[in-house]
Amino acid sequence: FYLAHVGKASPAVAAPLFFICPTDAACLNSSTQFVLAGVLLVSPVVQSGADFVNTYLPKGIWYSLEYSNGIASIVGAPFRVSDVGAYYKLSAPVGAAPPLHIRGGSVMSMYDGDARGADLTTSLVAAGPYGLYVALDDMQSAFGHLFFDDGLSMISSSSAKTTFVAFQANATCVIASPESSSESHTPIWRSIQIFGLTNAPASLTFNGIPLSSWRYDTERQALIVSMVSLSVEISQGWTLRWEHTTRSSSPMTV
């Protein structure tokens, strides 16, 4: 939203599917699905009483995002769509969120605290903590940004309290690079999750220091790193790096 506001991204925060795949005929013909910020694909149910939806996924890697009780999480194995796009019949129970998918190559941050449902207030979410979700594409890369403000000051004001951080990732590391920050204190990261890693890492380092608070989830092809003991604020720069084993591994904790 911030990038669209300042003219550094498409002004269409909610865009039709063909905005991300303009040469795909199925995307051109899609009239119900849409993409938020070029990252999150939404497949709404538009037929009364229907409990499923035929979701079209363009070529690439897509990660299912489940939203329940105010909390989002990536679930199941990624959809790896090769050559051309494909349709999937997905469950969409009445009263639940519609099918949501994160586009491979994206980095997102979301609230990762303990509040749920009606307890989730704007002030609680703003206080954090947060989780970073890295969704690797078929080239094992991803990038994204985080904009955070105090929710009160005007962005255009010289006294605005804002933080802007860029993220980039590949098959062996994630790097956070603060581009600006005028806040003396920002929320902390609770977790960093990297999706699309087909092999379990052998070891991890955070800013060059060995890290033991992590595990690998085989089903989701995800590296899940706990940041609780490090107390790293979202405005800080850092590098998370890992080395791979040469074979797939079962879920593990080192």
* CA distances for 50 relative to 55, 67, 89, angstroms: 13, 19, 12
* CA distances for 122 relative to 7, 70, 153, 164, 231, angstroms: 26, 12, 15, 20, 22
Among 178, 182, 176, 181, CA closest to 194: 176
At 253 the pLDDT is 38
Helices (H), 116-245: 122-127
At 179 the pLDDT is 85
**Residues 144, 192: Cα–Cα separation, whole Å:** 14
Give tens-digit pLDDT for 159-210. 667 788 999 999 999 999 998 766 667 889 999 999 999 889 999 999 999 9
* CA distances for 97 relative to 44, 213, 228, angstroms: 8, 32, 29
Cβ 171 vs Cβ 137: under 8 Å: no
95 and 129 both lie in a single domain: no
The set of residues, in sequence order, having a beta carbon less than 8 Å from that of 187 and lying 6+ positions away, is: 126, 127, 128, 129, 130, 148, 233, 234
150 and 225 both lie in a single domain: yes
At 172 the pLDDT is 95
Domain boundaries, position 117: 107-253
At 90 the pLDDT is 92
Give tens-digit pLDDT for 63-86. 998 877 666 788 888 899 987 889
Q: Which residues of the chain have pLDDT under 70?
A: 1-11, 69-71, 118, 150-160, 181-184, 245-254
Q: β-strand 130-135 against 189-195: which pairing, if any?
A: parallel
**Looking at 59, 85, 103, which one is the last position of a domain?**
103
**Residues 88, 69: Cα–Cα separation, whole Å:** 25
At 104 the pLDDT is 94
**Looking at 74, 103, 132, which one is the last position of a domain?**
103
At 186 the pLDDT is 84
**Looking at 80, 103, 126, which one is the last position of a domain?**
103
74 and 122 both lie in a single domain: no
DSSP 120: -
User: What is the value of pTM for the model shown?
Assistant: 0.84
Q: For the purposes of burial, counting CB atoms within 10 Å of the CB of 227, is it exposed (0-12), middle (13-18) or buried (19 or more)?
A: buried
